[in-house]
Amino acid sequence: MSTKTVALKLSRDIKRMILVNAIFLTLFVPIALLSVKGFKDLSTISIIALWGLAMSVGNFFFVQTYLTRRTESDLKTSFDSIHHQFALDDLTGVYTRRAGMARLREELARSRRHGRTLSLAMADIDKFKDINDTYGHLAGDKVIQHVAQSLKAQLRECDLVIRFGGEEFLIVMPDTNEHQTVQPLDRIRHRLSFSTTEFKNQSIRCSISIGVATVFPVETDIIDAISRADQALYCAKQFGRNRVVHKDQMKHCQPIMPVHA
């Protein structure tokens, strides 16, 4: 249920309460007074009825112009906060796989609508198991954070970074093709290979391998495009890691896909 739907439902419920209140103030109270033996002051009853009607109208406008709008604003803030919490990965601050895939489908629909390509890149931290075995899993988490933040900081604002797996990231780059993505991704890869993650007075170096694929406007199955990016990533691993690979380089890659290392 959307924020607007919830707010409208709440607004209708409040207005029903106001209507009941108006009926009580303008009809029930005067009728009750008339039923009191000896009470025949019609002018007083009329004043009470008019006062009740005025109070009801005042309540209506108060709810309409203030309470409903404030409630809608508060609900929107709450919904946005909840969405933010579920959409972003706790460790890295980038999109979770579920939320990221939803955003990817939105970008794919937009690219089809405008007849443009978009690029996908699958990035994986090289020899991540060795980092965990050598420095521990908490150090591994710090390395994942460092890589995610580096990707997010150095890409365009319109690009999406998704934590696709444990140490694997899916990057969505709208309005680009494979060749246009290689240079910025290679620049990020190069900088990461010379940076360090500090953990308990230890400087941990890491590198990433990246596979790139283009998604064309005619494509409807995003899974095929992700698979192509994943195949290119496997090739980057086979070629020695710490590099960016795209389709034109994959003819030299072995068809058997090794496990990420």
Q: Which residues are catalytic?
A: 167
Environment class of residue 29 by beta-carbon count within 10 Å: exposed (0-12), middle (13-18) or buried (19+)?
A: middle
Residue type, 202: Q
User: What is the signed CA dihedral for 63, 65, 67, 73, rounded to 10 degrees?
Assistant: 150
Residue 204 DSSP one-character state:
E
Q: Tokens in use for 60? A: 């209506």
Edge-to-edge strand ranges of the sheet holding 118-125: 160-163, 168-174, 118-125, 208-215, 244-245
> Nearest 5 degrees, angle CA 158-CA 163-CA 168?
115
